[in-house]
Amino acid sequence: MFGLAPKELLGLGVLAAAVTTAGNLLATILKDFFFSRAFEKWKERRTLMSVYRKYRDPLVLAGEELESRLSQICASYPPDYLRYEVLELVPTALDTTNSADDPHFRRYRLLSTVYRLCAFLGWLELYRQDVTFLDTGRRRQNRRFEEALAAFRGDLADGQLNKAKDWAEWRDRLIFREEQRAVGEAMITKDTDPRVVVGYGTFCALFSPASDQNLWSLRVACNFFLNLEKEKDFRRKRLNLMRQHVRSIIDILHPERRGTIDFLRARSGGFWPFQ
């Protein structure tokens, strides 16, 4: 072949075989290691995104409802329906005068306020049980979500937020972090697939003193709101911080939805259906 000696031909044949073997070995390594790992990461990514889509909308909706009620409480602080005596009322029906002072309406406002906080904690706990943190697909966004969530939990749990020199004279209530998780667990359905947060009717049944499932964690959440005072009650500050951090969580999870909500509120004169 082109005047090559047999030894030279043999050497070229060996070199070609070596190159072919190396190529096949490299292809095997790429296929079995790198491509396999890339495929596993892709599957993991798909799973995380599936969980993200599953919980994003319920979390945003629950957050919007909670933020709306917190805004109302802060605007009319302290509202007259967040009182122990209202909790003890047992009205049978709504007053025909349709008054804001109606016992049925006041008790509804109290229980629905507690429900909105418990429902939000319930969706957070459901997600926590599926994955450690809500993976939005972007590391920076994940970090912002984690920080906003940690701040929200701190609004409820951290006693050292009150920097006043006479802090010992202030009224305050806390829901510690493990208690927040217990509240969330109490709000999760046990016999449905997929598991979801219980509705308002089921919550009221659980909250009733007559219920055989009367849960202390729901009472802890309720006590956080009761008997707010105008002066030296640090819960006023906590409620404002909670409102801000819930809004941050909503903006991170669904930034385009915030613009839509603000537009609708402006068009409706400030009214929003999550009242």
- Residue keyed to tokens 């990461």: 41
Residues 181 and 126: beta-carbon distance below 8 Å: no
pLDDT tens for each residue of the chain, 275 residues long? 455 555 554 555 556 666 677 666 666 666 666 555 655 655 555 555 566 677 788 999 999 999 999 999 999 999 999 999 998 877 666 666 677 778 888 999 999 999 999 999 999 998 888 765 555 566 677 788 889 999 999 999 999 999 999 999 999 999 999 999 999 999 999 888 888 999 999 998 887 766 666 678 888 999 999 999 999 999 999 999 999 999 999 998 888 765 554 544 444 444 444 44
> What do you get for the CA distance between the two ends of the chain, in Å?
91
pTM check: above 0.85: no
The single-letter code of the amino acid at 157 is: A
| C-alpha to C-alpha distance for 81 and 245, rounded to whole angstroms | 24
| C-alpha to C-alpha distance for 32 and 11, rounded to whole angstroms | 31
Identify the burial level of 46 via C-beta atoms within 10 angstroms of its C-beta, where 0-12 means exposed, 13-18 middle and 19 or more buried: exposed
